[in-house]
């Protein structure tokens, strides 16, 4: 069983990967907090907790947790409906407790029933959304907060309209130059990165951040009008001194423990956060180069523990987040040491060098996210699903489109519904073979018989003519649903009255004892 202690022998890969994830996570943490109506530092707190605490508790080698865009609407409504932010923090703590309860009831197993076409569709949709949402930031149009994935935002502007406005409006030359150079470098570095030597450990996104900071400084010296202003840069809350840093943390107000709105919010957060975490972890397992599998019930426990800690110190709810996790995989991380280090870098940087962080252009980080998004939604992925047939391709495309035009959770639900329709359709393939040669008939089950096969079995038995000998062959099955057993029993009971001789072959996982002998009917188990 995997240990909770990270393996430090992978530090050469995990250290640079953790820096990449921290750079990606920082603006997303701030953006989610802003969109949620919470203090900006609350997003950073949840990023730190998601990295260090959840990273420690989790057995997922590559998943990264933090504040989730999928919870912004719920969190915003909850904060507005409660007397204070401190009482909202109590709801976060209680949500964590409920997630612990979910883990004890083994609710994590539900994620295993999500069709793979829906999971890959979710990844492709996230990639497309990253590209579309980051194009405005890449050209200096920062009207929308980072980390918002809804198609239509609170101001009524949808994703495509935002992209159109950013490209047809007044572009910010400095942002465009920095983003363009950054993207060229990232795609070049993907192929040119040495396989040996110290340079192989240099993460491209870190170089991009340096390009952004230095490039903006050069623009200020050469073309001051093109230099990016603070509104186009990362904006981390700054305290007067390190001694004031603890004041950014907030304790929950336990006096609201009896409020109905607190418990309603806690239950909603627990359910939605658990669903998003389970699907994200399952998706990360799919893109893990080593195809390791995460214990989903344990993951619920880790997420619950993380939310308890986050709520106790002033943070937002945390979930496993596919954007940060994808960046972690893309950066060649090998273990959860990368996740924990990313949380540590967030803590150290906001405590010691917030002024330096505030020099990072959003357009440089947008380039990093666009490159990550492209890797998630390469045309090759669509072609692979198409070659697998319509039963895989349609749920995949529906999931992509649904997430793109709604939000992550709604789109996944739509994708799951469509995916299950195709799963059921596949299972409605003929399961019963019927044949007759004179008075000798055969009714053979080609595979396990479930509830959905009742009609097909009944139809085959109805075709058996009076006065014949019939063999009901169940030898190819190891499970027969009790409803189908009842149908066979009913046929046996009536067979004597139709002068039908019945034989049943096959031990169906103990179901043999539930099949009966009717009077004047010969039933043989062979």
Q: Which of the residue ranges 115-129, 170-184, 192-206, 483-497 would you say has the lowest mean pLDDT?
A: 192-206
How do the domains of the chain map onto residue ranges? 11-150+165-417, 432-514
Mean pLDDT for 462-482 is 90
pLDDT by residue (tens digit) across 484-517?
A: 888 898 899 889 889 999 999 876 544 444 555 4
At residue 151, what are phi and psi to the nearest 5 degrees?
A: -65, -45
- Per residue, the 3-state secondary structure of 61-75, as one string, reads CCCCEEECHHHHHHH
**Which residues touch 90 (CB under 8 Å, ≥6 apart)?**
252, 253, 254, 256, 257, 262, 311
C-alpha to C-alpha distance for 58 and 461, rounded to whole angstroms: 52
C-alpha to C-alpha distance for 405 and 426, rounded to whole angstroms: 28
C-alpha to C-alpha distance for 311 and 96, rounded to whole angstroms: 8
The two structure tokens encoding residue 62: 């590559």
Mean pLDDT for 26-38 is 88
* CB 79 within 8 Å of CB 246: no
User: Which letter does DSSP use for residue 504 in this model?
Assistant: E
C-alpha to C-alpha distance for 47 and 51, rounded to whole angstroms: 6
How are beta strands 65-67 and 440-445 bridged, if at all?
unpaired
The predicted pLDDT at position 114 comes to 82
pLDDT at 523 over 70: no
Please, where are the H alpha helices in 428-526?
454-462, 482-495
The predicted pLDDT at position 3 comes to 57
486: closest CA among 524, 522, 521, 516? 516
Cβ-count burial of 292 within 10 angstroms (0-12 exposed, 13-18 middle, 19+ buried)? middle
How are beta strands 318-320 and 432-437 bridged, if at all?
unpaired
> Which residue carries 């001789």 as its tokens?
501
Cβ-count burial of 437 within 10 angstroms (0-12 exposed, 13-18 middle, 19+ buried)? exposed
Task: Please count the other Cβ atoms lying within 10 Å of the Cβ belonging to residue 83.
Answer: 12
What end-to-end distance do the CA atoms of the chain give, in Å? 43
The two structure tokens encoding residue 115: 């069709």
**Which residues touch 428 (CB under 8 Å, ≥6 apart)?**
452
247: left (phi over 0), alpha (psi -120 to 50) or beta: alpha
Please, where are the H alpha helices in 169-295?
173-192, 204-222, 260-287
* CB 56 within 8 Å of CB 19: no
User: Which letter does DSSP use for residue 388 in this model?
Assistant: T
The predicted pLDDT at position 153 comes to 79
Secondary structure percentages of the chain, helix, strand, coil, to 5: 65, 5, 25
* CB 378 within 8 Å of CB 61: no
pLDDT by residue (tens digit) across 196-252?
A: 777 777 888 989 999 999 999 999 999 999 999 999 999 888 888 888 889 899 999
31: closest CA among 211, 236, 206, 174? 236
Superfamily (CATH H level) for 432-514: STAS domain (3.30.750.24)
The predicted pLDDT at position 518 comes to 40
CA 263 to chain centre: 25
pLDDT band, residue 526 (cuts 50/70/90): very low
Mean pLDDT for 167-189 is 93
Q: For the whole model, what pTM was predicted?
A: 0.77
Q: What percent of the chain has pLDDT over 70?
A: 94
User: Which letter does DSSP use for residue 438 in this model?
Assistant: T
The two structure tokens encoding residue 39: 């203090």
Which residues is 501 bridged to in the sheet? 469
pLDDT by residue (tens digit) across 79-90?
A: 999 999 999 999
pLDDT at 128 over 50: yes
The two structure tokens encoding residue 201: 């450990």
pLDDT at 1 over 60: no
């Amino acid at each position: 069983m995997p240990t909770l202690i990270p393996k430090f022998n992978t530090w050469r890969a995990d250290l640079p990967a953790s820096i990449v994830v921290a750079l990606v996570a920082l603006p997303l943490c701030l953006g989610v907090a802003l969109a949620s109506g919470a203090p900006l530092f609350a997003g950073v707190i949840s990023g730190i907790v998601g990295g260090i605490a959840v990273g420690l508790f989790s057995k997922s080698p590559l998943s990264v947790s933090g504040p989730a865009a999928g919870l912004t609407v719920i969190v915003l409504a909850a904060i507005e409906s409660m007397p204070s932010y401190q009482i909202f923090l109590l709801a976060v703590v209680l949500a964590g407790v409920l997630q612990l309860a979910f883990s004890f009831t083994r609710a994590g197993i539900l994620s295993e029933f999500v069709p793979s076409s829906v999971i890959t569709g979710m990844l492709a949709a996230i990639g497309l959304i990253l590209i579309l949402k980051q194009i405005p930031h890449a050209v200096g149009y920062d009207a929308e907060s980072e980390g918002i994935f809804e198609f239509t935002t609170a101001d009524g502007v949808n994703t495509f309209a935002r992209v159109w406005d950013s490209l047809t409006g007044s572009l910010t030359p400095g942002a465009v130059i920095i983003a363009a150079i950054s993207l060229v470098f990232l795609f070049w570095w993907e192929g040119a990165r040495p396989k040996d030597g110290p340079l192989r450990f240099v993460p491209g996104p870190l170089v991009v951040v340096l390009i952004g900071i230095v490039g903006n400084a050069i623009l200020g010296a050469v073309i001051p009008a093109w230099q990016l202003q603070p509104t186009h840069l990362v904006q981390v809350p700054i305290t007067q001194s390190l001694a004031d840093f603890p004041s950014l943390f907030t304790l929950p107000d336990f006096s609201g423990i009896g409020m109905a709105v607190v418990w309603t919010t806690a239950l909603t957060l627990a359910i939605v956060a658990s669903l998003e975490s389970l699907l994200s972890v399952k998706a990360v397992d799919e893109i893990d180069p080593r195809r390791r599998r995460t214990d989903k019930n344990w993951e619920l426990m880790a997420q619950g523990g993380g939310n308890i800690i986050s709520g106790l110190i002033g943070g937002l709810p945390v979930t496993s987040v596919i954007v940060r996790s994808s960046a972690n995989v893309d950066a060649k991380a090998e273990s959860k040491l990368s996740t924990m280090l990313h949380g540590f870098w967030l803590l150290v940087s906001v405590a010691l060098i917030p002024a330096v962080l505030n020099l990072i252009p959003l357009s440089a980080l947008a380039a990093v996210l666009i490159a990550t998004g492209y890797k998630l939604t390469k045309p090759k992925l669509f072609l692979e699903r198409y070659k697998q047939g319509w039963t895989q391709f349609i749920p995949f495309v529906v999931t992509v489109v649904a997430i793109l035009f709604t939000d992550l959770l709604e789109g996944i639900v739509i994708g799951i519904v469509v995916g299950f329709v195709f799963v059921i359709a596949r299972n409605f393939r003929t399961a019963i073979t019927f044949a007759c040669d004179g008075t000798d008939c055969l009714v053979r089950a080609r595979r396990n018989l479930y509830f959905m096969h009742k009609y097909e079995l009944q139809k085959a038995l109805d075709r058996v003519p009076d006065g014949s000998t019939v063999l009901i062959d169940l030898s190819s099955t190891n499970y027969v649903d009790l409803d189908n057993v009842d149908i066979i029993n009913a046929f046996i009971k009536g067979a004597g009255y139709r002068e039908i001789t019945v034989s049943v072959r096959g031990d169906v996982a103990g179901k043999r004892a539930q099949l009966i002998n009717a009077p004047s009917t010969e039933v043989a188990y062979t």
